[in-house]
Structure 1
Amino acid sequence: MNFFLQGLTMGIAYDAPIGLANLFVINAALTQTKRKSFLTALIIIIFDISLAFACFFGIGAIMKKFEWLQLVILLVGSLIVIYMGINLLRSQTTDISGEATPEMTVIKTITSAFVVIWFNPQAIIDGSMMLGAFQVTLPAYSYPIFITGVGIASILWFFILNAVVTKFKDKFNAKILRIINLICGAIIILYGGKLLLNFFTLLMH
């Protein structure tokens, strides 16, 4: 039970800081129907847990070993993230009801969520340092218990975040929602810009 609680608290610390995944879930909860926003949260959870598993078992070490892989992920990821942010800035919201929002297909949601989670090498490396370093302190038999706690934390965090935002989204009118979209879009573009800067920095070394 102790290892499970350690994994649970580590998982919350891993997911809680405001990042692309949280912004993605918040925006879906504000602009999509309850069913679609729930699906978005579920897809984010699946990719988030898969990344946590990969970090725990050492993908960060692989990225550090192969610099070309870092470069590819940085370049492609930064461009796609910037594109997503620009689309959010350009989106026009006249009504916050689900019927008034643009249709977001399951395929588009899956690909966008994949980019948000997996095309952020900084998150992969940070997650590897956080979870991978913790792995060293654990006995081998506790790995499944610990990583299960991390996975449960991801499920709880994103479902609760989605539920809270969905519950209170009716308090937002179209103007406020537009401002939120602009803020989220700007932050996402800044994330993408930071990734692109990291790409050029790594390329010049």
Structure 2
Amino acid sequence: MEVPYFFRGLLIGLSIAAPVGPIGLLCVNRSLSGGWLRGFISGIGAACADAIYGCIGGFGLTAITSFLTSNKYWLQTFGGMFLLYLGVNAYKTAPVKQNNIGHTGSLVSSFLSVFALTLSNPMTILGFTAIFAAFGLGNGGDIFSTLQLVLGVFIGSALWWLFLSSLAAYFKDRLNDKKLELINKIAGIIIIFFGLLAILT
């Protein structure tokens, strides 16, 4: 029996979001410093960006794809510099022990920062284009199947960020301030490393 496109997208979304990288570290850092909701909203920013790239790849929007890939260097440099800023900020941010759900402003900035950071990696769209081509999509011909796949990608990615932010918040309540601060600093240093890597490569 053929697996519905939605469930295929769900698995793709999970597999794209799950590997450890700067976005995952930011999600953990923000869950520790500002509560699980702030970490989750950060992850939703990445999920929305993935869904947008999924739409571009799935509907065969070649003009946008060409623009993004031809400006890969500048986008990657911007992303690297933004990572440096976020890494320094993560390093300096002190963890908050109480269950702080975050102010609306901080939640919006958490969403937008990760959304912009994910969009600054144009190589993501090439991955989506390859995935959609493997399923016989990508030319905009089968709109319903493409929408199912994109929706599945978004929900799969969102589920991963919900799991990760909740897990980080769970351990946050079981660690003392010194350990939380150490984890934050380590996460900040690694994010800074990813930023330097993006700029120099």
What's the counterpart of residue 188 of structure 1?
191
Measured in 2, the distance between the counterparts of 1:59 and 1:73 equals: 19
Q: Tell me the SS of whatever aligns to 2:196.
A: helix
Scaled by the length of structure 1, the TM-score of the pair is 0.76
Change (3 A) 1:39 1:76: closer
Please tell me whether the aligned partners of residues 82 and 188 of structure 1 are also in contact (alpha carbons under 8 angstroms).
Answer: yes
1:75 paired to 2:74: no
10, 13, 19: which is aligned to 2:12?
10
Number of the residue aligned with 2:97 = 96
RMSD across aligned C-alpha pairs, in angstroms?
3.1
How many Å apart are 1:59 and its aligned residue? 6.3
In structure 2, runs of 5+ residues without a counterpart are none
What is the number of residues matched between the two proteins?
Answer: 195
Give 5+ residue unaligned stretches, structure 1.
199-205
After superposition, the Cα gap between the structure-2 partners of 1:111 and 1:66, relative to the gap in structure 1 and judged at 3 Å, is closer
Kindly indicate whether the alpha-carbon contact (under 8 Å) linking 1:120 and 1:195 is maintained by their aligned counterparts in 2: no
Query: CA contact under 8 A between 1:51 and 1:124: conserved in structure 2?
Result: yes
- Write the distance in 1 (CA, Å) between the matches of 2:184 and 2:164: 17
Q: What do residues 48-95 of structure 1 show as CA deviations (whole Å, max 9, x unaligned)?
A: 3223333434568845566652222122221111121122223344x5
After TM superposition, the structure 1 = structure 2 runs for residues 32-181 of structure 1, keeping only pairs within 5 Å, are: 32-58=34-60, 62-64=64-66, 68-93=70-95, 95-98=96-99, 105-129=106-130, 131-136=131-136, 140=142, 141-181=144-184
Q: Which amino acid aligns with 2:85?
A: Y
Alpha-carbon distance between aligned partners in 1 of 2:153 and 2:39, rounded to the nearest angstrom? 22
Q: Distance in 1 between matches of 2:56 and 2:170?
A: 33
Shift of 1:142: 2.3
Larger % of helix: which?
1
Report the 3-state secondary structure (helix = DSSP H, G, I; strand = E; otherwise coil) of the residue aligned with 1:17.
Answer: coil
SS at match of 1:105: helix
Q: 118-127 or 149-158: which moved more?
A: 118-127
How far apart in 2 are the matches of 1:137 and 1:50? 16
The residue matched to 1:82 in structure 2 has which SS? Answer: helix
Distance 2:90 2:62 in 1: 30
Q: Which amino acid aligns with 1:192?
A: G
Letter in 2 for 1:17: P
In the TM superposition, what is the alpha-carbon distance from 1:196 to its structure 2 partner? Answer: 0.8
Tell me the amino acid that sits aligned with residue 6 of structure 1: R
Q: TM-score normalised to the size of structure 2?
A: 0.77
Shift of 1:98: 4.8
Q: Residues 71 and 31 of structure 1: is their aligned pair in 2 closer, same or farther, counting only changes over 3 Å? A: same
Aligned-partner residue type, residue 183 of structure 1 = I
Rate the CA distance shift 1:58–1:82 in 2: closer, same or farther, 3 A: farther
Instruction: Please give the secondary structure, in 2, of the residue aligned with 1:30.
Output: helix
AA of the residue aligned to 2:120:
F
State whether residues 30 and 165 of structure 1, in contact with CA within 8 Å, keep that contact through their aligned partners in structure 2.
yes
